[in-house]
Structure 1
Amino acid sequence: MQPSTARILILDDDADVAFAARMLLRRRHGEIIVLHEPAALPALLAQSTFDVVLLDLNFTPGRTDGAEGLAVLDLLRGQSRPPAVIALTAYADVPLAVEALKRGAGDFITKPWDNARLLAAVDTALARRAATPVAAAGSTLIGESAEMGAVRAMVAGVAPTEANVLILGENGVGKELVARAIHAASRRAGAAFLAVDMGALPEATFESELFGHRRGSFTDAKTDRDGRFQAARGGTLFLDEVGNMPLPNQAKLLAALERREVTPLGADRPQAVDVRIVSATNLDEASLFDPAVFRPDLLFRLNTIVIRVPPLRVRRGDIPGLLRHYLAHYEGHYGRPARSLAPAAQARLLEWHWPGNVRALRHACERAVILAAGAAYEFADFGLGTPDTVTPPPNAQALEDQTLGDLERGAIAAALAQAKGNISEAARRLGLSRAALYRKLEKHGL
């Protein structure tokens, strides 16, 4: 397997733990940096950016309050493009890990970890970071169009309630940002917001991941472990890609939602759960209402309120503001001079179909900031090519003129179109993992 280009930082005072994590991750990811002392982090961040950080929560021998790790987390979340953070913790520190989730960590891994679990956590973190557009500030939803105004109005109306919300929309429109905006405006804003990619949870470990397990409940269960429902207690549990769950997993989730309780594997009695459920899918509504694809009783539980996030091509009035925001963001991030956008370039960008929606626009802006050399941004700086759709070359000479990157981009665009934007289905058609496809989407600005 070709290593990814992801940059990963391991920050742990235990040299043996850091070495083990580095040896495991270096088989699949390009650059792994190890630090043992938080004091060295600011200087490193001044020179480098990271996609994922594995963060221990205690560094000084004898300390167990996690204050050092939480301070590091605050520093990381203050970066202009924060990395995804996975907290590393001993079993006794699970309440501390939950506090880290409240402060912005995306996941936590208990030590000693299961190798497959750690690899999956890193892959999920990379995929989610690639898929989530940068917000203007916190959970701000960018866009002044009537369509986005309607989304904001729905968020404002539903956020103070406890109603379950189902967010629908194509890949890249910013469904997780909408979920975060709901959480930020809710009475649960001070508690954790925990996102789970439901389509990526294997059926064999589904219950353990969501509901937790007790020591000895299966071969690798060396300690008790809380599941995602317990970790998000008091807060919001965001169930992303619910449409990609196998039907048996849908039945298990339905039981937990109906009873408002979960039973960890190996436990004698259920535990009440206190979470608000916000879910999302890029399935089209015809598929969502097909009982062979999605259980109607589970849909009934999830869709008390439905928010439809429109694709960028139907809210073109938001494109100028999004361009200004992301160009300014990346100019600051990379220390590049501020440039204007050439009128002809803006006109073409307004006409672009944007099959990858806001995420594709963000990646195009990042590329433009990095590569632009003129006084103003030109359309060519955004790396979008022409035309919107890639068609098979009519003859051998045309094929020779195609680069490998062009062919790969065309194959991915075709698979996405055939799968109607469903990432899992497109990945299956291409023979890729979801995480690998997300990285290629980012690479090609789709």
Structure 2
Amino acid sequence: MQKTQANILVIDDDRDVLHSAKIVLKPVFSKIITESNPEQLSYLISNNQYDVILLDMNYTAGATSGKEGLFWLKRIIDTIPDQQVVMMTAYGDLKLAVEAMKVGAADFIVKPWENEKFQATILSAFNHSQSKKELSTLKHKQNQMKEMLTQADHDIVGSSVAMKEIFYTIDKVSETDANILILGENGTGKELVAKAIHQRSKRADEVFVKVDLGSISHSLFESELFGHKKGAFTDAKEDRVGRFVMADGGTLFLDEIGNLSLEMQAKLLSAIQSKSITPVGSDKSHKTDCRIIAATNENIHQMIAEKKFREDLLYRINTVEVVVPPLRERLEDISLLANHYLSIFNQKYRKALSINDDAIEFLKQHSWPGNVRELQHAIERAVIMAEDVVLRPTDFLLKPSGIKQKQDTLKLEEIEKETIEEAIKQHQGNMSKAAKALGLGRTTLYRKMEKYGIK
């Protein structure tokens, strides 16, 4: 009979009982630890993880009340609420058994035991322990899914030739289970592409888990990706499920993979190659089945030439490469994107704004170093600050970028300044009338006067 991979702890002051328990349980379970002194319990459960703990009820000679066992049972449950504990006693007291169950014991056996029944009781407790762990993992996955669904997430928008190529690639690769590498500048929408691939794949009903590798410290890398066992290091107060396990059956999105050190790259490569992970502080590996989609804004091929990125890792993650173009290379999508985000923020802020053609042309003159994300923020800010029902060029405060942009912006600003000065002059300094004539709110007028240094 194949042994069940389990760690069982038996605590009893009678060494004969410990010896017998080990003999009976050893054919069934892979690891049996025995301890005669209950005072060692705190140390043992703080530094190890046990699937089932067998705990005697009495430790003082002649004691039959079971108070000592209940004391140690409470200590265990207070420390590890989900710990499976089976109580042992030579006295078949039903009231004592009920009290132990109320405290948190999983079951109760009477000494001397029947070997088969003893084995079956411990196996049942072990199975319940595994079910709780699986439920915990499932909750982690559900929380990840909930987080993904509640994010302010939008579809990929674009009708340019460059974006049509992206849509075509997404449709082709989504049908497969190939690992994908998405390249592109910050703010181009790499995560949206990753989610679009996931949502069109056969894993769409499973979880999409994102890991921002650029924000993970070297010391927490393994814990974050592979998980850890309680007590594995100073701050490991409880077991933690890693991102690979969370994404099991679904998609694992490794964002900013170009930020990893060579040492972390080696550990990631090993996990991807073997399709298994070992939590920190554990000697057991776990198989995982998740599709890998990675992304970076770095020039990954240049990094390989400079020995900053492992070539073998690149081969593992880039079965297909998707390059997302910067917004400056698809300016024909500006109108579509601007109206898309305007619709979203109109709903968010309960407004009914539109945007005129002059504003669209103004937005097209900007080089958008922050790409689509910068445009999104620009639209949101304009919607928040707008005092008219139509967004105009003057509603967008964009930093000049590039000579042409700077020249065009300076011309617009010069014209706007002269227009404001003329309106104020015509209305003899009456700001309310000047603002109305300009189609601006008084607050906006004062802000622009301050910007242009108009007294």
* Secondary structure at the counterpart of residue 209 of structure 2: strand
Give the Cα–Cα distance (whole angstroms) in 2 for the partners of residues 303 and 94 of structure 1.
29
Give the Cα–Cα distance (whole angstroms) in 2 for the partners of residues 306 and 105 of structure 1.
24
In the TM superposition, residue 286 of structure 1 has moved relative to its aligned partner by 4.3
1:169 corresponds to 2:212? no
Give the Cα–Cα distance (whole angstroms) in 2 for the partners of residues 305 and 350 of structure 1.
32
Amino acid at match of 2:168: A
Which runs of 5 or more residues in structure 1 are unaligned? 1-88, 108-128, 392-446
Contact 1:103/1:192 (8 A) holds in 2: no
Equivalent residue number for residue 100 of structure 1: 143
Contact 1:193/1:236 (8 A) holds in 2: yes
Equivalent residue number for residue 345 of structure 1: 359
Contact 1:172/1:359 (8 A) holds in 2: yes
* Secondary structure at the counterpart of residue 306 of structure 1: strand
Contact 1:142/1:321 (8 A) holds in 2: yes
Residues 297-312 of structure 1 aligned to structure 2 (within 5 Å): 297-312=312-327
Residues 202-351 of structure 1 aligned to structure 2 (within 5 Å): 202-339=217-354, 341-351=355-365
Give the Cα–Cα distance (whole angstroms) in 2 for the partners of residues 376 and 319 of structure 1.
17
In the TM superposition, residue 216 of structure 1 has moved relative to its aligned partner by 2.1
Contact 1:91/1:223 (8 A) holds in 2: no
- CA RMSD in angstroms, aligned pairs only: 2.4
Contact 1:197/1:239 (8 A) holds in 2: yes
Equivalent residue number for residue 373 of structure 1: 387
TM-score, normalisation: structure 1: 0.58
In the TM superposition, residue 199 of structure 1 has moved relative to its aligned partner by 1.6
Give the Cα–Cα distance (whole angstroms) in 2 for the partners of residues 229 and 337 of structure 1.
44
Cα 1:91–1:325 change in 2 (3 A) is same
Cα 1:106–1:255 change in 2 (3 A) is farther
Contact 1:102/1:190 (8 A) holds in 2: no
Give the Cα–Cα distance (whole angstroms) in 2 for the partners of residues 368 and 90 of structure 1.
49
Please point out which of 187, 193, 196 is paired with 1:181.
196
Contact 1:91/1:224 (8 A) holds in 2: no
In the TM superposition, residue 374 of structure 1 has moved relative to its aligned partner by 3.0
Please point out which of 191, 201, 204 is paired with 2:216.
201
Give the Cα–Cα distance (whole angstroms) in 2 for the partners of residues 314 and 359 of structure 1.
15
Amino acid at match of 1:317: E
* Secondary structure at the counterpart of residue 241 of structure 2: coil
Give the Cα–Cα distance (whole angstroms) in 2 for the partners of residues 90 and 234 of structure 1.
17
TM-score, normalisation: structure 2: 0.57
Provide, for residues 287-309 of structure 1, a one-character-per-residue CA deviation record: whole Å limited to 9, x for no partner: 34335221111111111100000
Higher gyration radius (CA): 2
- Over the matched positions of the two proteins, sequence identity in percent amounts to 43
In the TM superposition, residue 103 of structure 1 has moved relative to its aligned partner by 3.2
Contact 2:253/2:292 (8 A) holds in 1: yes
How many positions carry a matched residue from both structures?
A: 274
Provide, for residues 136-155 of structure 1, a one-character-per-residue CA deviation record: whole Å limited to 9, x for no partner: xxxx3210111101001101
Contact 1:106/1:194 (8 A) holds in 2: no
Give the Cα–Cα distance (whole angstroms) in 1 for the partners of residues 302 and 239 of structure 2.
38
Cα 1:388–1:280 change in 2 (3 A) is same
Cα 1:292–1:220 change in 2 (3 A) is same
Amino acid at match of 2:142: E
Equivalent residue number for residue 114 of structure 1: none
1:145 corresponds to 2:188? no
Contact 2:334/2:360 (8 A) holds in 1: no
In the TM superposition, residue 285 of structure 1 has moved relative to its aligned partner by 4.2
> Larger RCO: Structure 1 or Structure 2 (Cα < 8 Å, ≥ 6 residues apart)?
1
Give the Cα–Cα distance (whole angstroms) in 2 for the partners of residues 298 and 151 of structure 1.
24
Residues 403-418 of structure 1 aligned to structure 2 (within 5 Å): none
Cα 1:291–1:254 change in 2 (3 A) is farther
Give the Cα–Cα distance (whole angstroms) in 2 for the partners of residues 333 and 165 of structure 1.
34
Cα 1:158–1:91 change in 2 (3 A) is closer
Cα 1:270–1:302 change in 2 (3 A) is same
Amino acid at match of 2:206: A
